Amino acid sequence: MASIEFVQVTKSFDKHDVIKNLDLTIEDGKFTVLVGPSGCGKTTLLRMIAGIDPQTSGSVLIGGKDVTRIPPGERGVAMVFQNYAIYPTMSVRENIEFGLKNNKVDKAERTRLVESISETVGLGGYLDRKPSTLSGGQRQRVALARAMVKKPSVFLMDEPLSNLDAKLRAQMRIELIELHKKLGTTFVFVTHDQVEAMSMADTIVLMNQGRIQQEAAPEVIYRKPSNMFTAQFIGVPPMNVGDLMKDGARFGFRPEHAILSQEPGGLHYSVRGTIATREMLGSETLYQVKTSGGQSSYMVKSVQDLFRVDQEVYLGVDAAKLIFFDAEGRRID
């Protein structure tokens, strides 16, 4: 059992509360992604789980056990960082073996573990290579293997993919999903990249300013954002938001839920506008539409490429796809 619980956890730096009275349960064996803008407290949460920088008050439990007084090395957690610490002068094998030697695991068992784990992460043929001869993705896998060899019950990962180029990042995302499936261990992954969160998580914990905004499966966060912040943080480009002329309430719709046409259609909500910009994305085209009168502009994502800049269009949204927010920005059901 390696669920993680935060119970009324507060973390302060210089009397300033970065996290305040946080309650959160991270389920055993799940791939949980902590996501949110820079400075929202993601790394602080991870460091509290690891015990590197303990909470100011409240309790952190791993596997149902309060770990407040348990030092980092005895918590059964392994951490992989953005700047993964691998030793440049050691071979891949020596890097992976390093922690085991320190723990006085005997030679035969070390060899067996290193070989089986290097196969799991696809480094089987690279054990005698030096890190400088590996690609960024392979180096990242060495860092993962180093963490895995300790057989942790919890993997903590702090932006481990952010130093990789876009293609490699996409590949490593799939590899991490597969690795999680193979290991069945609790993964807690920190990122500020909502695409990483959406593509890998069983559960997303979306934070802002030290508070949890929503905790749900990716598709739930996408379809039923709990508030304006969530609605606009998740999704590229973000959800369109417009004012309803009463009580400060607002409506929102996703760019792919709008339809452009030359004639007013049978849709419930339709406004006239002009195409301001057009971006070809390959399989889709992204339009920015300025409404007539110019008060508002909305993004529209379409699989069709029928419209040109300066063209007059009707922008329609299916009423069933509209989302409404109250004056405090909370979604209204």
Query: Which residues contact ligand ATP (rule: CB under 6 A)?
Result: 13, 18, 36, 38-44, 192
For residue 140, the minimal CB distance to ligand ATP (Å) is 18
For residue 65, the minimal CB distance to ligand ATP (Å) is 24
For residue 82, the minimal CB distance to ligand ATP (Å) is 9
**In this complex, which beta carbon is closest to ligand ATP, that of residue 192 or of residue 224?**
192
Q: Which residues contact 190 (CB under 8 A, 6 or more apart)?
A: 33, 34, 35, 42, 43, 45, 46, 156, 157, 158, 159
**In this complex, which beta carbon is closest to ligand ATP, that of residue 47 or of residue 301?**
47
CA distances to 59, 285, 286, 303 from 281, rounded to whole Å, are 47, 5, 7, 10
Peptide bond into 72 cis (omega under 30): no
Q: Which residues contact 291 (CB under 8 A, 6 or more apart)?
A: 271, 272, 273, 297, 298, 315
For residue 41, the minimal CB distance to ligand ATP (Å) is 4
Residue with tokens 């085209």: 285
Sheet strands (E) in the chain = 4-13, 16-26, 31-35, 57-62, 65-66, 77-80, 154-158, 186-191, 203-208, 211-216, 240-243, 250-253, 258-261, 269-280, 285-291, 297-302, 312-317, 323-325, 331-332
Measured distance CA(157)–CA(189) in Å, rounded:
5
**In this complex, which beta carbon is closest to ligand ATP, that of residue 38 or of residue 132?**
38
For residue 150, the minimal CB distance to ligand ATP (Å) is 24
For residue 45, the minimal CB distance to ligand ATP (Å) is 7
